[in-house]
Structure formats: structure tokens, C-alpha cells
């Protein structure tokens, strides 16, 4: 490696920026050519580079593209799509169809057209093919795409999609329209011939694909289509090789949804992994430049900065335990600690300076964790909050018990708390927290704590209830955890090698559990036999659907009382449907009367009438097993009696409505579905069912005789 002279100053970010996009100086002067770098520049074995946030994907992207841009044997094309381009593509795919295969098929052909035209743009003016038949053929393709030829950005793929949709909006027609309009097969042949003529390989690199990405069918179809297009061009030996740099959560979504995962993707992924030694080399390389140290020994370089209490590699590893073992974390930690040292008028890092910086780092990393998983696991903020000031080390049995208590008796005052009900049990929540690297298991046989970051909770099955669990040391300071051990006593092992055979286990556990809740309803026997199970199902539905609006939902809150209400929850809404119910009918405590049969009786309404007094206001809900969402004339008559004679509004809701709303929760964009549906239903009750209609009487009218 060639070292450059010391940087112009030692203030600010001593070891460079934590973001590759703003770290050009250090990347040029102190890039460590890892085995991953050599795998990408010396082979064509990988179409995917996969890693967690902060593992150096963008830095690797920059150095690999720089390497090939200087090589004469390659056309190097690289891009970071903008957020608006990704969102535009997702919007277009939403119009294509409702299923992932339909969206992926359209995305695949649109991306393929874009990639081929991108390479064509580099070929068309090349001196080696100028004036040849190949050049003539390429020119015809340019005329076919018209003004879109000038757009070489990823946005062209969505424009190609939208143009096809304007011709025929039917889902199945879009891929065929694109293939025919742009003569994709002929275009592929001509581009391959052009690359062969100039004796070059086209290398296409994409980074930043997480910009605008969401864990939805549309978002994953954007990536799935691009992945398939890249694989198609490779397999057809067109001379085009693509490499996509993607986050591990995107890769998991792709593995879960894509039917061609094992064929196109599984064996073509390079997963980035950093151990203590590699991170030590990384930091030492940057310190050589920043401090102007002329030594190849990383310990000597580190000791130029480190005080006595963190000297040598052991001292570096003490610092590393405050991170998630990623380049970004350790660079930020050193930079912040060094700023503190500078303010104190010192020049060396000490354990005290590291600890001071680590508190901010811990809060930032915890916030990053919540943001990263908030869409697929919205309750993650509530989950980790349960560990505040708790023991850092605890048994699996104790942790599950704590989580079960929150699920059964939690307040559900925050909308995200609905995920406690979605996952259903403390063990399921524990699986989720282990899968995202928040919790680890103590492996006494190797004196290590095993953490996982691949989204899989499979390893949980290998541990007994007495096994000790550990919150990752990186989060201890943010959560103010209680422990007799120092974070330096925890020997961390990160297991984040993605196992494709477990793709069902690593799918979004929240979505899977919501699906299970929906599927449980038809299994509940209608009638007295299944009454208890139905009450439990409705309680869970209330927790899922109304968390943040109705708190402390409880089943039979007064079991020995004269009035034995089924499900009761406190109305804490400050806006929307439930705020209206409190304002109009005084219901601070909302009653859900649960009837596990289809045909409601007058007695059911009288029962709710007796419950709706005082804090319960003048409003109640009856959840029943009726198959129709319409309200019969007989029921309307009873509702009118209660309204006009007793000033009570009773809203009847078939369980199927709640079940459908739970199903909609799997889409993060449909979280307000139940509130919209119940608001419309309540409006219908008030405006139509509860109104006394004037009946015209024709009695006494005589038929006029026609005059002769």
C-alpha cells in the first residue's frame, strides 16, 4: 500500500468521515484492500454485495468503480439512484398489478431495457464500430427510444414502465409491450455484438438502492426486477456484468419474496463481515495518514494516539466493544472521543474520553436500530424501552416473562404497542429482538456472547430457559442498564451469515403473525363452545387495531360484579373516531360486548344498555359473528328504540370487519383502514339507521272520477 503525507490538520474528524460519500481524502490515502475488494476486482463471481448499515458498502463501491474506471478493458457504469426515482418506480409498479410476480416481471423488463440502452449509449460513438453494420443497428435502437436516450439515470426505467402503462394498463400486458416496443431480444444481441467488437466488458454498479426503499411488494419488486435483469444479461453472455450493493434487510426481503432466489441470487452474494483484526487494520491505516506515523505495525500506530489504559490491540478491542463491530461505529467513536480530548487540551485518547463519547454513540446506535426496523417491526421502540434500567444479563425465562406481562397487561397507549399483540407472546418478541442483534445468548462453552444480525431467530431454539441473555453492550449506556460486569467483560461473536434455507424464518415476523391472527378467526367454533376463544380473539384485535387510541384493554375487568362487561378499554384519543365518540357520547370507557353467534337478539341490546352509564357514556360496540355487514330491518328497529328512547348509540360490527382490518395492517400504508371503515359505518348508523323516516299515508284519499 502506498502512504501519502500527513493530512493538513488533525482537528475535527481525525480518522475521516463515517460516510464514504464525504470521505474521499481518506479513501484515497488509506483504503484497506480487503479480501472482499480483491474478490470484486479479480473475479466476476458476485452480483450482490450485502451488508448491514455502516459495514463499508459505499466505500467498497467507490474504490471498485475507481479501479475499473482506470482500466482500458472495461466500460465502467455506476450510479446511486435518487430517492424520488425509487419512489417513482414503486408508484408505477403499484399500477402494474397487485402481486409480486406481476410487479417483478414488469420491473425486470424495464430495468433490462434501461441497462441495455445505458451500455448502448457508451458504444454508439466508439471509434472501433463507427461506420459498421453494428453502428447502423445501434442507431436504429436509438431512434426507437427517442428522447429517453438522453436520460441515463435509473429514472428511465420507471419512464419506460409508465409509457407502457399509458398504452395498456392491464397487468399482464406491460412486459410484452416493453419487449416489443424496444425490440429487447434484438437490442440485447446488438449490444453484445458491439461489446465484442470493441473487446470490452461492461461493468454496471449500483449503490444506494436503499434510498426510498420500503419493505413492501412494490419496493422489493424494484430490487427483484433489477436483480433478475442483471442475472439475465450475465447468463446470456452479453458482456454485461452487474453488481448491486444492498443492505441485508433488503436482501432478506428479496429472499423471502423472489421465486428465483435460489437460482439467480443465492450463490452470487458476497456478504461483508468485519472482525477485530480487520477493523484494527482499518483504523491503523487511517491513523498512519492522520498522524503521519511511518510504521507498518498497527499496534505502534495505535499507541501513538492511545493512552496507557487503552494501549495495544487489547486496548483497541476494549473500545470496539462499545460498537456494533462496523467500520462506521469505530470511526465515529474515535472522532468524537478525539474532539473531547482536543477540548481538554490533550492529544491522546484515554478510556475516560472513549467512555464519554460512547454515551452519545450508544444513543445514536439505538436510534439507528429503531429507525432501521421501524417499518417491519413498528413496536421495536416499545420493545427496547422495556429493557431500560433492567439487568444487562438475565435468563431467557425471565426476559420472556417480562415481555409476556407487557403483552397481557400493557397499557397499549402508543400505536406501536400493537406489535405486542401482533407477535402474540414474549417468546416471539424475543425471537425478533435476537434477530435484529439487540439481544444475544451467552455461550458458556466458549465464554462468548453470540449475537445475530441476519433477521433469523432460529438459534433461539437451541437455548434453554435458564440460558443467560445479554443486551448488546453497544446499547448499555443508552438504556442505563444495571450490571456488575463491565462491557469489556463481554466477548462478542456476531453471527450474520445469511442462511437461505431459513428464508421462511427470516421473513417479517410481524406480517407472518398478523396473518396467523386473521387465520385463527375461522377456526373459532361459533356458539357457546367457542365463546371464550372468541373473546380472547376480540381482545387481541382491540389491542392490535386501536393501540394509541384505546389504552388498557381488558377482558372481564370486573368478573365478580353484577355487570360483567366483555372487553373494556380507556378512550385516550385526541383526534379521529374515538375522540368523536368521547365528545359526542361521553364514552371515556368503551365497552365491546362480544357475541359468538350470527343473529343478535333484543336481549343483547338491553345488556349493552345496562352497561352504558357513567364513565361508559352512551355508546357501545357489539362484535358478533354475522356473515353480512348490512344491518337488517329488525336490528334497525332495536337500534332506533335505544337511540330515541334511551339516547344510546350501539354500533354492531361483524368480526370479519376486524379481521379484514388486521390483514390490512400488513401494509404500513393502510394503518388507518379500521378507523376509516368504522367512521363510515358510524356515519351510516347515525344518518340512516337511527333516523325516524316519515311514512306517507294514503288513507282518506279518494280517487277522482274523470269528468264526462
pLDDT digits (tens, 9 = 90+) for 60-94: 999 999 999 998 889 999 999 999 999 999 999 98
- Which whole number is the average pLDDT over 592-615? 92
Average pLDDT over residues 249-266: 75
In sequence order, the β-bridge partners of residue 468 are 395
Average pLDDT over residues 511-540: 89
Q: CB–CB of 689/639 below 8 Å?
A: yes
Q: Please state the separation of Cα 585 from the chain's center in Å.
A: 39
**Contact, 429 vs 416, CB < 8 A?**
no
pLDDT tens string 445-497: 767 788 876 555 555 666 778 888 889 888 998 998 877 655 555 666 665 44
The pLDDT tens digits of the residues spanning 533-561 come to 999 999 989 988 998 899 988 887 655 44
Whether residue 10 is predicted with pLDDT greater than 80 in this model: the reply is: no
Q: Rounded to an integer, what distance in angstroms lies between the CA atom of residue 111 and that of residue 179?
A: 11
Q: Which residue has the cell 493512552?
A: 307
Contact 609, 580 (CB under 8 A): no
Residue 512 has a CB neighbour count (10 Å cut-off) of 16
CA–CA distance, 228 with 225 (Å, rounded to integer): 5
Q: Would you give the distance in Å from CA 705 to the centre of its chain?
A: 78
Q: Where are the beta strands (DSSP E) in 520-637?
A: 550-555, 567-571, 589-595, 619-624
Checking DSSP bridges between strand 468-471 and strand 439-443, what pairing results, if any? antiparallel
Q: How confident is the model at residue 3 (pLDDT cuts 50, 70, 90)?
A: very low
Alpha helix stretches (DSSP H) within 247-343 = 248-257, 276-291, 298-303, 312-320, 327-343
* pLDDT score for 564: 55
How confident is the model over 651-668, as a mean pLDDT? 86
DSSP string, 221-242: HHHHHHHHHHHHHHHTT-SEEE
Residue 461, pLDDT score: 62
60 closest CA partner among 166, 205, 227, 267:
205
Given a contact cutoff of 8 angstroms between Cβ atoms, the answer to whether 299 and 27 are in contact is no
Residue 622 in this model has a pLDDT that exceeds 90: yes
Has residue 504 got a pLDDT over 50?
no
Contact 499, 266 (CB under 8 A): no
- pLDDT level of residue 215 (50, 70, 90 thresholds): confident
Specify the 3-state DSSP secondary structure of 557. Answer: coil
| Lowest mean pLDDT segment, chosen from 211-220, 318-327, 451-460 | 451-460
Could you give the CA distance from residue 194 to residue 200 in angstroms, rounded to a whole number? 9
Q: Are 181 and 113 in contact (CB under 8 A)?
A: no
The sheet that has 619-624: what strands, in order across it? 550-555, 567-571, 589-595, 619-624, 649-654
Contact assessment for residue 117 and residue 145, using Cβ atoms and an 8 Å cutoff: yes
| Residues 579-605: b if buried by 16+ CB within 10 A, e if exposed | eebbeebebebbbbbbbbbeebeeebb
Q: Supply 140's cell numbers.
A: 436504429
Exposure of 576 by Cβ count < 10 A (0-12 exposed, 13-18 middle, 19+ buried)? middle
In 3D space, the residue among 192, 201, 187 whose CA is nearest the CA of residue 238 turns out to be: 192
Domain segments of the chain: what residues?
73-271, 276-373, 380-502, 511-689
Mean of the per-residue pLDDT values of the chain: 84
- Place 239 in a pLDDT band, splitting at 50, 70 and 90: very high
Q: Which residues contact 529 (CB under 8 A, 6 or more apart)?
A: none
Q: Round to whole Å and give the CA distance between 564 and 704.
A: 62
**What percentage of the chain exceeds 90 in pLDDT?**
42
pLDDT of residue 112: 96
**Is residue 569 very low, low, confident or very high in pLDDT (cuts 50, 70, 90)?**
very high
Q: Which of 214, 32, 204 is nearest to 120 (CA)?
A: 204
pLDDT band at 6 (very low <50, low <70, confident <90, very high): very low
Residue 514 in contact with residue 376, Cβ under 8 Å? Answer: no
Q: How confident is the model at residue 158 (pLDDT cuts 50, 70, 90)?
A: very high
Cut 0.75: pTM above it: no
Given a cut of 80, is residue 150 above it in pLDDT?
yes
pLDDT confidence band for 698 (50 / 70 / 90): very low
CATH code at 511-689: 3.40.91.50
State the sign of the Cα–Cα–Cα–Cα dihedral 441, 447, 452, 457: negative
Q: In what order do the strands lie in the sheet with 240-247?
A: 74-79, 201-206, 240-247, 48-51, 269-271
Identify each DSSP E strand in 36-93 by its residue range: 48-51, 74-79
User: What is the length of the chain?
Assistant: 708
Least confident of 129-133, 218-222, 287-291, 331-335: 129-133
Give the model's pLDDT for residue 74.
93
End-to-end CA distance of the chain: 120
User: Looking at the DSSP assignment, which residues form a beta bridge with residue 622?
Assistant: 593, 652
**When comparing pLDDT for 697 and 436, which is higher?**
436
- Name the most confidently modeled range: 21-25, 95-99, 241-245, 420-424: 241-245
Distance of CA 242 to the CA centre of its chain: 25
Beta pairing class for 567-571 and 619-624:
unpaired
- CA dist 696 and 232 (Å) reads 73
Amino acid at each position: 500500500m502506498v502512504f501519502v503525507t500527513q493530512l493538513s490538520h488533525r482537528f475535527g474528524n481525525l480518522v475521516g468521515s463515517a460516510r464514504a460519500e464525504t470521505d474521499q481524502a481518506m479513501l484515497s490515502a488509506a483504503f484497506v484492500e480487503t479480501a472482499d475488494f480483491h474478490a470484486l476486482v479479480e473475479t466476476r463471481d458476485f452480483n450482490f454485495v450485502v451488508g448491514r448499515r455502516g459495514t463499508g458498502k459505499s466505500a467498497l463501491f467507490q474504490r471498485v468503480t475507481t479501479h475499473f474506471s482506470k482500466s482500458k478493458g472495461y466500460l465502467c457504469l455506476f450510479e446511486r439512484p435518487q430517492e424520488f426515482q425509487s419512489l417513482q418506480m414503486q408508484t408505477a409498479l403499484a399500477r402494474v398489478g397487485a402481486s409480486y410476480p406481476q410487479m417483478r416481471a414488469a420491473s425486470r423488463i424495464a430495468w433490462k431495457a434501461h441497462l441495455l440502452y445505458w451500455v448502448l449509449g457508451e458504444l454508439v460513438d466508439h471509434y472501433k464500430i463507427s461506420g459498421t453494420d453494428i453502428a447502423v443497428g445501434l442507431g436504429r435502437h436509438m431512434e426507437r427510444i427517442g428522447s429517453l436516450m438522453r436520460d441515463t439515470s435509473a429514472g428511465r426505467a420507471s419512464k419506460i414502465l409508465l409509457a407502457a402503462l399509458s398504452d395498456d394498463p392491464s397487468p399482464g400486458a406491460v412486459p410484452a409491450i416493453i419487449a416489443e416496443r424496444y425490440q429487447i431480444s434484438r437490442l440485447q444481441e446488438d449490444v453484445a455484438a458491439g461489446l465484442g467488437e470493441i473487446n470490452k466488458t461492461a461493468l454496471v454498479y449500483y449503490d444506494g438502492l436503499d434510498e426510498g426503499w420500503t419493505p413492501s411488494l412494490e419496493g422489493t419488486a424494484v430490487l427483484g426486477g433489477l436483480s433478475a435483469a442483471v442475472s439475465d444479461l450475465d447468463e446470456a453472455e452479453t458482456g454485461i456484468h452487474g453488481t448491486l450493493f444492498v443492505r441485508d434487510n433488503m436482501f432478506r426481503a428479496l429472499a423471502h419474496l423472489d421465486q428465483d432466489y435460489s437460482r439467480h441470487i443465492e450463490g452470487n452474494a458476497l456478504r461483508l463481515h468485519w472482525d477485530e483484526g480487520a477493523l484494527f487494520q482499518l483504523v491503523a491505516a487511517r491513523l498512519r495518514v492522520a498522524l503521519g506515523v511511518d510504521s507498518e505495525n498497527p499496534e505502534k500506530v495505535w499507541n501513538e494516539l492511545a493512552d496507557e489504559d487503552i494501549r495495544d490491540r487489547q486496548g483497541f478491542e476494549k473500545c470496539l466493544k462499545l460498537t456494533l463491530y462496523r467500520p462506521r461505529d469505530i470511526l465515529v467513536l474515535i472522532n468524537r472521543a478525539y474532539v473531547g480530548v482536543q477540548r481538554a487540551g490533550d492529544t491522546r485518547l484515554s478510556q475516560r474520553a472513549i467512555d464519554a463519547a460512547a454515551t452519545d454513540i450508544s444513543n445514536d446506535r439505538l436510534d439507528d436500530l429503531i429507525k432501521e426496523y421501524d417499518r417491519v417491526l413498528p413496536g421495536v421502540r416499545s420493545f427496547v424501552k422495556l429493557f431500560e434500567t433492567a439487568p444487562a444479563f438475565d435468563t431467557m425465562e425471565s426476559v420472556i416473562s417480562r415481555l409476556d406481562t407487557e403483552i397481557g397487561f400493557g397499557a397499549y397507549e402508543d400505536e406501536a404497542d400493537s406489535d405486542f399483540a401482533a407477535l402474540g407472546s414474549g417468546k416471539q418478541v424475543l425471537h425478533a429482538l435476537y434477530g435484529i442483534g439487540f439481544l444475544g445468548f451467552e455461550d458458556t462453552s466458549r465464554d462468548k456472547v453470540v449475537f445475530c444480525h441476519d433477521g433469523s431467530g432460529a438459534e433461539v431454539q437451541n437455548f434453554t430457559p435458564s440460558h443467560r441473555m445479554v443486551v448488546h453492550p453497544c446499547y448499555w449506556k443508552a438504556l442505563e442498564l444495571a450490571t456488575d460486569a463491565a462491557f469489556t467483560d463481554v466477548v462478542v461473536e456476531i453471527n450474520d451469515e445469511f442462511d437461505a434455507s431459513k428464508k421462511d424464518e427470516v421473513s417479517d415476523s410481524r406480517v407472518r403473525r398478523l396473518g396467523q391472527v386473521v387465520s385463527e378467526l375461522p377456526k373459532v367454533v361459533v356458539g357457546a363452545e367457542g365463546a371464550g376463544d372468541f373473546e380472547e380473539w376480540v381482545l387481541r384485535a382491540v389491542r392490535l387495531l386501536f393501540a394509541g387510541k384505546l389504552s388498557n384493554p381488558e377482558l372481564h375487568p370486573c368478573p365478580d360484579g353484577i355487570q360483567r362487561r366483555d372487553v373494556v378499554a380507556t378512550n385516550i384519543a385526541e383526534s379521529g373516531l374515538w375522540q368523536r365518540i368521547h365528545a359526542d357520547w361521553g364514552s371515556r370507557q368503551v365497552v365491546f360486548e362480544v357475541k359468538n353467534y350470527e343473529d343478535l337478539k333484543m336481549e343483547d341490546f338491553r345488556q349493552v344498555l345496562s352497561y352504558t352509564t357513567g364513565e361508559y357514556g352512551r355508546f357501545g360496540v357489539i362484535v358478533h359473528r354475522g356473515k353480512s355487514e348490512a344491518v337488517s330491518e329488525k336490528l334497525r328497529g332495536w337500534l332506533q328504540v335505544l337511540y330515541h328512547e334511551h339516547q344510546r348509540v350501539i354500533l354492531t360490527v361483524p368480526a370479519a370487519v376486524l379481521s379484514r382490518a388486521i390483514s390490512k395492517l400488513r401494509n404500513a400504508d393502510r394503518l388507518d383502514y379500521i378507523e376509516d371503515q368504522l367512521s363510515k359505518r358510524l356515519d351510516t348508523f347515525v344518518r340512516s339507521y337511527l333516523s325516524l323516516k316519515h311514512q306517507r299515508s294514503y288513507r282518506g284519499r279518494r280517487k277522482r272520477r274523470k269528468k264526462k
